[in-house]
Amino acid sequence: MTPAGRQLAALLGNALRLDLRARGTFRTRSMGAVSPILWTFLFYTILGLSTGAGLFLSDAPVFVFVTVSFAVASVMIFFNIMIEYQEILNSPADGDVLFWRPIASRTLFLGKVLHVLAYVGMLTLPLLLAPALFLAVQVDAHRGPVFAAFWLGGYLNSVATLAFALLVYGVLLRRISAERFQDLLAWVQLVFSIGLMLGMQLMGSLVERLGNLQDPALLWRLRLVPASWFAALPTLAAGSVDPWLLGLLGLAAALLLLLGLNATQRLAPAYEEAVARIGAVS
């Protein structure tokens, strides 16, 4: 293995161990210190169970079922990265690595991207586990392909959400200072908490309208949601042959390509400079 490969393996392994390490924030008499991410997994599992059960009971079509499931996962993953994982790309501690150790900025950046890809996969699992099982029970045929396509589309949808979060990070860090960035995230957290409470109240009526096909215009607008582009994959696996599904898949591929190119070509070369700016004000 090359030196850069060994550095990547060490960076990724250490980052994942830190994710799962109990920091002592939550303690119980029987379990001791519990990692905060485990509580996140529990909350996401409950949210996924609620979403999947609601869609299953409403007998929503496959496309609607998957789109709503993916959309809920996208929202939760995006705000998790923006709020809870706000230093994933540009931590002030990165200056110690870049400036004093023989690790190139691109290597450190790639290690962080691989880490967050694994992190997003861990978040996707509890959010989509229950919906995947409910969907497998609901469909009449092609259960295996639908189940596999659901997970593939779900992870790609999460990766697209991650890439969009990286884009937002890049734009914000170029336009505002690190202090204002933290203040902005505090307001985002407040707005997100209020929006989540309101959204859960409206979810039932929205799913009912979509599931019963009572509003064709709403179903058409649903195709404008990026999550629906990835939902086309399991919908095709379920046996649907509508040509517009292929168009949605093309949009999903184009979205991944454009956001991925932005992350590799624009964020990585400027990474060391961004770390230097943050270090100067820390």
Tell me, what DSSP letter sits at residue 34? E
Rounded distance, CA 31 to CA 23, Å? 13
CB 153 within 8 A of CB 233: yes
| The residue count for the chain | 282
Question: pLDDT (tens digit, 9 = 90+) per residue, 176-201?
Answer: 766 676 677 767 767 766 776 666 66
Cα-based distances in Å from 185 to 41, 154, 164, 173, 229: 22, 26, 16, 12, 28
Question: pLDDT (tens digit, 9 = 90+) per residue, 73-117?
Answer: 998 898 888 776 655 555 555 555 555 556 666 677 777 778 888
**Residue 34, by phi and psi: left (phi above 0), alpha (psi -120 to 50) or beta?**
beta
pLDDT at 27: 47
Rounded distance, CA 282 to CA 276, Å? 10
Tell me, what DSSP letter sits at residue 182? H
Model confidence at 140: pLDDT above 80: yes
Q: Is 32 helix (H, G, I), strand (E, B) or coil?
A: strand
Rounded distance, CA 234 to CA 236, Å? 5
- What would the two tokens of residue 39 be? 């509580």
Distance of CA 82 to the CA centre of its chain: 10
Lowest mean pLDDT among 14-23, 58-67, 92-101, 150-159: 92-101
What percent of the chain is predicted at pLDDT more than 70? 65
Question: pLDDT (tens digit, 9 = 90+) per residue, 8-40?
Answer: 787 777 777 776 765 444 444 544 455 677 888
Closest CA to 85 of 108, 43, 118: 118
Q: Is 27 helix (H, G, I), strand (E, B) or coil?
A: strand
Model confidence at 269: pLDDT above 80: no
Question: pLDDT (tens digit, 9 = 90+) per residue, 213-242?
Answer: 556 677 777 788 889 899 999 999 988 777
pLDDT at 94: 56
Cα-based distances in Å from 142 to 9, 45, 68, 243: 38, 25, 21, 19
Q: Where are the alpha helices (DSSP H) in the chain?
A: 3-20, 36-57, 62-79, 94-100, 105-138, 143-175, 178-211, 216-222, 226-237, 243-262, 271-281
